[in-house]
Amino acid sequence: MRFDRCRMLFGEEDFAKLQKAKILILGVGGVGSYALDCLYRTGMQDITIVDYDTYEESNRNRQIGSDCAVGECKVSTLATLYPGIQTIRQKMDIAWVESFDFEPYDLVIDACDTTRVKIELAKRCYPKLIMSLGSAKRIDASQVQVASIWKTHGDALARKIRNELKRARFDRNFTVVFSPEEPRCKEKGSFVGVTGTFGLTICSEAVKRILGQ
């Protein structure tokens, strides 16, 4: 059976918890698509993905679903690859974050690219948030780490988010996945060995969170 090995690993009770969890993934690019794939293969049955973009040729080095779908909508393509997931095609801006109802979801996975949106997400749903920080410009997957936002180091995006949250007098904890590896280029170079590791690490953290570990 499809999930027999998951059941062997988790046990029936914990596997049932995973199947019932309600997950929201914001952004399904190089990080979010791997988080989606991992969660789906682990038996999650209630996953909603949010993205607005279409695939570009330059996405093919790292994004699941991009190989045969250049020019096509990401969420529609992924809905075909992962039957049963829910999709929202939506530009994620501050107004959307402020108006969207995050309450029904057990976990919110932030794999979007916009710093201001990430900051607003932290304010709105920090208890259930797992946030991806900078995965581009790096090649060493062994440096990928999980920490509280306040314990991050060596990541410019993390530093900017920390500073903005401090200005807003926000001091709550939330989980992030980051890498302190020194960027190897100034442009948006990327390597699936790292971006994919971010997504898989997020999936692992989501599983542990759902199981209360």
For residue 187, what pLDDT band results from cuts at 50, 70 and 90? confident
* CA–CA gap between residue 142 and residue 201 (Å, rounded): 11
* pLDDT tens digit sequence for 10-51: 999 999 999 999 999 999 999 999 999 999 999 999 999 999
Residues paired with 192 in a beta bridge: none
pLDDT at 117: 96
Whole-number pLDDT of residue 154:
94
* Domain membership of residue 69 as a residue range: 4-210
Question: Is 90 exceeded by the pLDDT of residue 188?
Answer: no
Whether the pTM exceeds 0.75: the reply is yes
Who contacts 208 (Cβ-Cβ below 8 Å, separation ≥6)? none
Report how many domains make up the chain: 1
- The mean per-residue pLDDT over the stretch 114-127 comes to 96
| Confidence at residue 213, expressed as pLDDT on a 0 to 100 scale | 75
Convert 148-182 to b/e letters by CB count within 10 Å (16 or more is b): ebeebeebebbeebbebbeeeeeeeebbbbbbebe
Asked whether the beta carbons of 28 and 49 are under 8 A apart, the reply is yes
Q: Residue 61: which CATH number?
A: 3.40.50.720
